[in-house]
Structure 1
């Protein structure tokens, strides 16, 4: 079964498209190579629920202001799937503008704060040390040191209060129940929302139709099997969500086909894992030395950050699956060698 896309085109900037009864799709720009994010408005009786916020720039604020002014009722709640800037970046501003409370998981709310304040193993200085251990060259490391915390620049302010959402919770919107599904690997406690009555799942970044979401290992958890967590989370979504369900992703077009997409993502990552194994067949190599294997294109500084995190995630997975061994050479760099079966 291939994916089916019920909408050939996204909404125009600032416009709403109803994709299911009471569920509206809007799209906002992003200042990256991935140049957009999908956001969602849910009818809630006489009011509205916003799911995810967009990136904090003036054009997005102006678009939100027009949309909110055009609504026929107040915004009653703001739900944020995870802590990344394109999802959380305007949360404080929207809360102040609408008076709506914020709903998040604790893992995402607290991670946002430690990343913003650069404590507990999060932040540029910890990342630079991590990437140095994994063989990144001095030129790239100097760029990361000079840039500092990109997160604080992309999230100008963070909320101090929130309503906690947990795995297995149900959020009722307009009398309809949305089941909370927690995913790991892309973010610590990423929230997806599934409504069986509407046959709709808001998947956030966990399940995208054409690209694989970034899966990274962070300095605070250097031995994490982030890729294993991500693949297990996908399998849980495939088990819980029927094939007839419309998937509303944060990037790309809404689609049908949870199970085939999950199968494609498993195959994609296994192909990358085998390529890494083959590259480490005769001599151990570091994550930095393997970037060209995983990403066969030029990478700017921003993309290198994600690429390093993803390379480490794949190598940790292979080590913990017993497919590679880890060695630390005399230069202090961590390298990986294929284990012969």
Structure 2
């Protein structure tokens, strides 16, 4: 991928009705070449053999190439119904870049950095023409078996996973990753309290029958409960770190972000670090441990 994360996992699932593609990656020349090569290695013709494209959420590393793949195959793209509308709002509203830049400045990012981020992160994604809604908790046929659509908020408000309980398989999207922690961010378009919703969803997955977890990034893994506990502990620790940053006095979210994420960051990473910081500060405020103060710039202080 043309971002520091480098790789996204896309899945090709065969069934009697044709092949299902799950997530699509960015739409750029190397990504298209990877699709063509991967399909060819399986004897799959992207133009004739694809019956359905499933997209777990609206981020461009998952949705980006869906229009191109639909153009080749004619297959419909399926997302949660609310995510279809959300995608149109984010990617087709010409004012979204300016809104993002204004929000970044409000939360303490220098204006020159924010303007470059706004123009670079909300452009150049063309949506598929045919998008069909999925519903949370419905069952769909997948690879000769049934998989349940599970709403998985936090990383994206309307992300979903697919759980084949009979075979113990979970397509986890970006909800549970093994080598990195999913970015849980508070963006201008986010629903309230994304970290609270993520932690509730993650806790509710304990004991799920999933011996094989197929994530949106990184290696497959098998110990779902163990990884859930690691992620819950990570966020508890991150909340404590951010609370300690507020104890000396009020700080902007960008200042807290700079103290917590100390390594050199790209512009893209600065935005995600700030969004994740905002989600954690928002959670501290929700718990009554911090107070949000909005003047020309937003600051948070320990309660």
Q: Normalised by the shorter chain, which TM-score bucket?
A: over 0.9
Residue 152 of structure 1 aligns to a residue whose secondary structure is: coil
User: 1:32 & 1:259 partners in 2: Cα distance?
Assistant: 30
**Structure 1 equivalent of residue 111 of structure 2:** 138
Partner of 1:186: 155
> Once the 2 structures are TM-superposed, how far is the Cα of residue 277 of structure 1 from its aligned partner?
1.0
- Asked if the contact 1:295/1:307 (under 8 Å) is kept, the reply is yes
For structure 2, the residue ranges without an aligned partner over 5 or more in a row are none
Q: Is the 8 A contact 2:98 2:115 kept in 1?
A: no
> Do 2:97 and 2:123's aligned partners in 1 also have CA atoms closer than 8 Å?
no
Q: Offset at 1:321?
A: 0.9
**Distance (Å, rounded) in 2 between the aligned partners of 1:204 and 1:95:** 20
- State whether structure 2 residue 233 is matched by structure 1 residue 264: no
Deviations 1:63-122 (A, max 9, x none): 323444522871111111011111111111111211211111122222221111236xx7
Q: Which of residues 33, 42, 49 in structure 1 aligns to 2:20?
A: 49
Q: Describe the shift of the 1:164–1:142 C-alpha distance in structure 2 as closer, same or farther (beyond 3 A).
A: closer
Given candidates 267, 273, 283, the residue that maps to 1:307 is 273
Match of 1:334 among 276, 286, 298: 298
Query: Is the CA contact (8 Å cut-off) linking 1:85 and 1:151 kept in structure 2?
Result: no
| CA distance 1:198–1:277, shift in 2 (3 Å) | same
In terms of mean alpha carbon deviation, does 49-58 or 292-301 score higher? 292-301
Q: What RMSD over aligned residues (CA atoms) do the two structures have, in Å?
A: 1.9
Helix, strand or coil at the partner of 2:19: strand
**2:108–2:254 contact (8 Å) kept in structure 1:** yes
Aligned to 1:208: 177
Q: Which residue of 2 aligns with 1:274?
A: 240
For residue 78 of structure 2, the aligned residue among 103, 118, 131 is 103
Q: Structure 1: which 5+ runs fail to align?
A: 1-29
Q: How many residues of Structure 1 are paired with residues of Structure 2 in the alignment?
A: 299
Deviation of 1:311 after TM superposition, in Å, equals: 0.9
**Secondary structure in structure 2 of the residue aligned to 1:96:** helix
* CA spacing shift, 1:142–1:79, aligned 2, 3 Å: closer
Question: In the alignment, which of 91, 98, 107 is matched to residue 116 of structure 1?
Answer: 91
- Residues 262-309 of structure 1, C-alpha deviation per residue, up to 9 Å, x if partnerless? 111111111111111111113111101111232121112111111111
Partner of 1:289: 255
User: Cα gap change, 1:309/1:196 in structure 2, threshold over 3 Å: closer, same or farther?
Assistant: same
- 52-61 or 254-263, which deviates more: 52-61
Query: In the aligned structure 2, how far is the partner of 1:144 from the partner of 1:63?
Result: 28
Within 2, Cα distance between the matches of 1:150 and 1:225?
22
State how far apart, in whole Å, the 1-side matches of 2:56 and 2:115 are: 33
Q: Which 10-residue stretch deviates more, 276-285 or 72-81? A: 72-81
